[in-house]
Amino acid sequence: MDSILVRGGSALNGTIEIAGAKNACLALMPATLLSEEPLTLTNAPRLSDIRTMTLLLQSLGVEVQGLQGGKVQAMSSHGEISPLADYDIVRKMRASNLVLGPLLARLGKAVVSLPGGCAIGARPMDIHIDALEALGAGIELRDGYLHATAPGGLKGASYAMRFASVGATENFLMAAVLAKGGSVLRNAAREPEIVDLAKCLRAMGAQISGEGTSTIEIQGVDRLHGATHPVVADRIELGTYMLAPVIAGGEVECLGGRRDLIGAFCDKLEAAGAEIEETERGLKVARKNGRARAVDVVTAPFPGFPTDLQAQMMALMCTAEGVSVLEETVFENRFMHAPELMRMGADIDVHGGHATVTGVERLKGAPVMATDLRASVSLILAGLGAEGETLVSRVYHLDRGYERVEEKLGACGAQVERVKGQ
């Protein structure tokens, strides 16, 4: 099993190209099930999660071809499509549940295993089920599989989600575009990934309005056609690499970055002492005036501070001047990185959904273990600013969400290398 070795103390200077968004691409790929014509995604990230979604779609009968080294995903669902999403694939990644809505819309039936993914809380499927049942689906849980049927086809409906779930919003959107009549989704998720999915579906002929707000309206159509769509930049990768020079020192320009994708995060980073400049190519970030300042963070659905940047922000707060409180409101059990940061000398006190971080002058390198995707990169970030060597084990989590992290950081002067497992 691979590890990442980080030798701290090197300031970062250079450019980092931000990849297409993993979470956007994982929703866009199942959209191919909605049409018999080809769907091509450009600017796709080259990640293990994308390969897992490829395997899942291929198991359903979709033709998927990765072009240009995987940056282009060319897909076609013109053949016979199976309704069965098997446990052996679905268990590897939670986003596999995003085939449920498209299969129901296309076939009127679906048998989808309950999903897996990072161990950061229950993240139940009940909102997905309720949303699809509002469109006329009948769904039962039997032997670990969701058995969904809509023999007469889905019908447009008005539905208000009790929580603005990103995945449930995506499943509802993809199901409703082929439903009979109009649909209204209230308390919809507002994330950029939702906006990107709506843009792609519109390019395929769907009638959607209101994406990016809490109310989305969909008018069902009889069929969708093929399209080519560029995947939006990954705001979580963007925020991660923006933090790197603030922790290690130096100046990095994140190519393709946009402030509107992570405005709340940028506000907190500037409050902590970072300098952020919008350029023609993206966002340039630097920390030029000593240690960062402690800031409090409360995670929230978009446009709030992203839960997927909480662990990385904690890595910065570990060496900030003062005391910060990080409150996790989206997922329970998402402070598993805290004990690992404490192994490096961090002063962190976790109580339920709150973590109080008292900044120390500097962390010290240590052997640490990644517990989930975002925790893994937070430990690498911490290692950049630490004294000595930090060895991060179990980085298979990292490869699910970051492509060539050691190359991107290394090109800016970081001493980061992958240590191959035995």
> Residue ranges per domain, the chain?
3-19+233-419, 22-230
Which residue is listed with tokens 């120390």? Answer: 360
Whole-number pLDDT of residue 95: 83
- Domain 22-230 coded CATH 3.65.10.10: yes
What mean pLDDT do residues 115-142 have? 78
For residue 268, how many other CB atoms are within 10 A of its CB?
A: 21
Question: Is the whole-model pTM more than 0.85?
Answer: yes
The yes-or-no verdict on residue 77 having pLDDT over 90 is: yes
The yes-or-no verdict on residue 366 having pLDDT over 80 is: yes
* 108-122, 219-233, 310-324, 361-375: least confident range: 108-122
Whole-number pLDDT of residue 121: 41
Q: Is 163 exposed, middle or buried (0-12, 13-18, 19+ CB in 10 A)?
A: exposed
Confidence of residue 116 (pLDDT cuts 50, 70, 90): low
Q: Could you say which of 1.10.3470.10, 3.65.10.10, 3.40.640.10, 1.10.1740.10 is the CATH number of the domain covering 3-19+233-419? A: 3.65.10.10
Residue 23 labelled as part of a binding site = yes
Whole-number pLDDT of residue 422: 60
User: Average pLDDT over the chain, rounded to whole?
Assistant: 94
CA distance 384 to 402: 17
CA distance 367 to 172: 43
Cβ(338)–Cβ(403) below 8 Å: no
What mean pLDDT do residues 14-20 have? 97
CA distance 204 to 34: 9
Whether the link from the prior residue into 115 is cis, omega within 30° of 0, is: no
What mean pLDDT do residues 3-10 have? 96
Residue 308 labelled as part of a binding site = yes
Cβ(42)–Cβ(230) below 8 Å: yes
The yes-or-no verdict on residue 149 having pLDDT over 60 is: yes
- What does the pLDDT look like over 30-71, one tens digit per residue? 999 999 999 999 999 999 899 999 999 999 999 999 999 999
Report the percent of the chain where pLDDT is more than 90: 84
Active site (catalytic) residues: 118
Residue in 405, 417, 416, 279 with CA at minimum distance from that of residue 16:
405
CA distances from 149 to 103, 129, 172 (A): 10, 12, 15
Whole-number pLDDT of residue 219: 98
- Number of residues written out for the chain: 422
Task: Dig out the tokens for 91 from the structure.
Answer: 């268990």
Residue in 22, 65, 29, 62 with CA at minimum distance from that of residue 46:
22
Q: Report CA dihedral (52, 53, 58, 61) to the nearest 10 degrees.
A: 150
The yes-or-no verdict on residue 377 having pLDDT over 90 is: yes
DSSP state of 31: G
Residue 232 labelled as part of a binding site = no
Which residue is listed with tokens 């995947």? Answer: 231
Torsion sign, CA atoms 160, 195, 373, 67: positive
- What does the pLDDT look like over 176-212, one tens digit per residue? 999 999 999 999 999 999 999 999 999 999 999 999 9
Confidence of residue 290 (pLDDT cuts 50, 70, 90): confident
- The CA-CA-CA angle for residues 119, 122, 127, to 5°, reads 135
- What does the pLDDT look like over 222-259, one tens digit per residue? 999 999 999 999 999 999 999 999 999 999 999 999 99
Strand 323-327 to 297-298 pairing:
parallel
- What does the pLDDT look like over 312-358, one tens digit per residue? 999 999 999 999 999 999 876 689 899 999 999 999 999 989 999 99
Task: Dig out the tokens for 3 from the structure.
Answer: 């590890």
Whole-number pLDDT of residue 117: 45
